[in-house]
Amino acid sequence: MISAALYDTKPYDREYFQNALFREKIDWQFHEFRLSASTAATATGMDAVCIFVNDCLDRTCITQLSKAGVKLIALRCAGYNNVDLKAAKEFGFTIVRVPAYSPHAVAEHSVGLLLTLNRHIHRAYNRVREHNFSLTGLIGFDLAGKTVGIVGTGKIGRIAAKIYRGFDCRVIAHDISPCHDWAAQQGIEYTSLSGLLNESDIISLHLPLNSETYHLLCRETFKQMKQGVYLVNTSRGGLIDTTGLLEALKADCIGGVALDVYEREGGIFFEDHSGHILQDDELNLLLAYPNVLMTSHQAFLTHEALSEIARITTENIIRLQANQPYIDETVL
């Protein structure tokens, strides 16, 4: 039987992996703590490790995994900015991921965040529960007729763009590898990043995090945006420079910000910190703004997505044991 250690797991991870097809062929070890250099020794004797977005596989950790005899690194997510790919290659590791567990889940959550923020649904919900039925301060705006800028037109970005087209929005897009045929079919215009920033009433980010996209939105790019623009980010927190964002919010340049990710979310997101004071001053400031809405990296959290994550990851681990090729498009 092949062995695999899952790190940074929650009850829903255990539920879906324990119910995945071929689960009986894998000896699972579920860990609530994250995988890092300081915890890598727990992988000793494991054939595979399975990690999530806030595990840290730097060179030191990968060196220890190699000494521990691990053969496969499986990411139960699409992003891989937390893995030192160069070091992994040097040590001969195969790395697999789940490139498209449910693009609909993430795209739908991003639009849901915007609707909630714009129409003040979260504030209205709290008011009504306290029997306050006043509508003062709850004015939003129609999406119809607004210009939405989609930055990144991969699977998730395309679905988000299509949803906004359904609201009768004008949708413009920017991508380093534009798909003009798709854009023409959907009535979407590609433009430069500066053009998108200048024209958009709403900007939605759908990009991986790498050296070229890190702090894509920063002091300089915030200055190029329309007064009162709304920003949505369900991709990676590092796409936005938090310090610059706070300055733009304080200067009243931004109408609203909807975030499912935060650049220093590791050690904060996925955990209950309600019993003590957060030590991250910038996060505390963000949460204090009435025009900022944040969820804790839950865009992926649907039945369909969790099922697909467990299915693809489990099957790839089984293929390691059977010495078969991994699922198409999952190998980095």
Which amino acids are annotated catalytic?
A: 236, 265, 297
Helix (H) or strand (E) holding 294: strand 292-294
Q: What's residue 100's pLDDT? A: 86
- State residue 121 phi and psi, 5-degree precision: -65, -40
| 199-224 residue pLDDT tens | 999 999 999 999 999 999 999 999 99
Query: Mean pLDDT, to the nearest integer, of 54-60?
Result: 95
Domains in the chain: ranges and CATH? 2-101+302-322 (3.40.50.720), 103-294 (3.40.50.720)
> 14 Cβ partners below 8 Å, 6+ apart?
6, 30
C-alpha angle 256/260/263, rounded to 5°? Answer: 95
Q: Mean pLDDT, to the nearest integer, of 92-100? A: 94
Q: Rounded CA gap, 68 and 315, in Å?
A: 23
In the 3-class helix/strand/coil scheme, how is 48-61 assigned residue by residue? EEEECCCCCECHHH
User: Cβ distance 269 to 297 under 8 Å?
Assistant: yes
What single-letter amino acid sits at 65?
L
Q: What is the mean pLDDT of residues 49-56?
A: 94
Q: What is the predicted pLDDT for the residue at 241?
A: 98
User: For residue 222, what pLDDT is reported?
Assistant: 97
The sign of the dihedral angle between the CA atoms of 326, 105, 151, 172 is: positive
Q: What's the CA gap between 113 and 211, in Å, rounded?
A: 27
The Cα–Cα gap between 76 and 88 comes to 17
Counting Cα atoms < 13 Å in the Cβ hemisphere of 133 gives 1
Contact (Cβ atoms closer than 8 angstroms) between residue 265 and residue 238? no
Amino acid in the structure at residue 179: C
Q: How far is CA 261 from CA 36, 283, 295, in A?
A: 21, 11, 7
